[in-house]
Structure 1
Amino acid sequence: MDPRACGLKPTIVADKAKSHGNRQDEKNGGEGPKQMDPRDDGLKKPETSSKANMHDPGKNTLGLREEKRKWKTMTREQEGEQVTLQWRNQRRRRAMQANEHKCNKGNFTLTMKCTEMLQLEIINLRDRLTYQNHQIMELGFKGEMRWEKKESRWR
């Protein structure tokens, strides 16, 4: 068994070891490739950690996207039903009291009755919050809504 093993396997292992530049694998014989597998796994682990690091900038870019489109759309439901439209911020999720609208660090709720499926998008975020009136009419809101800073309510 020894001449056959020495005739076949050590030459292959030695070729692999020379290609990797490791002389210890030549001494170990057939165990050389087994030792190279954990090293290959060790090389794969930094790749996964780099992929994990790639997810963090992805979250940051989502955060930037949310800042650009800060007030996002919420859709709801049945006719004549009281509906709460709520801005979701991944970092902070809050529900304000009903019938109030507050601009406070990415937190937003608006509660009112809807006449159809709603999708609303608020434009202009930091100092002024404005609706486009034609969008409000398309969305089935009754009446005109405007943001009053002093009272901080929709009317």
Structure 2
Amino acid sequence: MGAAPRFETQRWNHNAKDGSEQYEMPEDTASAPVWRKEWTWSHDRDVKASGKTLETRWPAAAELRPAKALPKGEQERTSRDASYTVVLQGEGHPPVTYSPETLEELQRFAIGSTHTLQQENGEVSVVPPKQPPPAPAK
């Protein structure tokens, strides 16, 4: 009777940079099959939604649907990323563009609201409003 097959350590690699994945056994294992299966995700398209109010939304399902049906066995992988821009205008001053980092921060900028800006080394920041003093205890 022959020796039992010897299997070496198997490896599963995921490359976060390009999204590829690999599964392999070392090629020096003569008595075991060696194979590799690889998937690579590539960028195909961007679907964007935009507006001029504080009401935000993601693109609707109909907007996300590919223009042509995907070939059998293919699928899309989605990711979502939001960015916000506010243009602040003061009397006698040029418009200033500010990019809030979160939806909560964006919602502080209702049309007609007043904000104090600070500019340092070309970077614009919004000075947070002062909190009112606590009410006196009764």
- Pairwise TM-score range, normalised by the shorter structure: under 0.3
- TM-score, normalising length: structure 2: 0.22
- TM-score, normalising length: structure 1: 0.20
User: Which has the bigger relative contact order, CA under 8 A and spacing at least 6?
Assistant: 1
Higher helix fraction (1 or 2): 1
Question: Which one has the largest radius of gyration?
Answer: 1
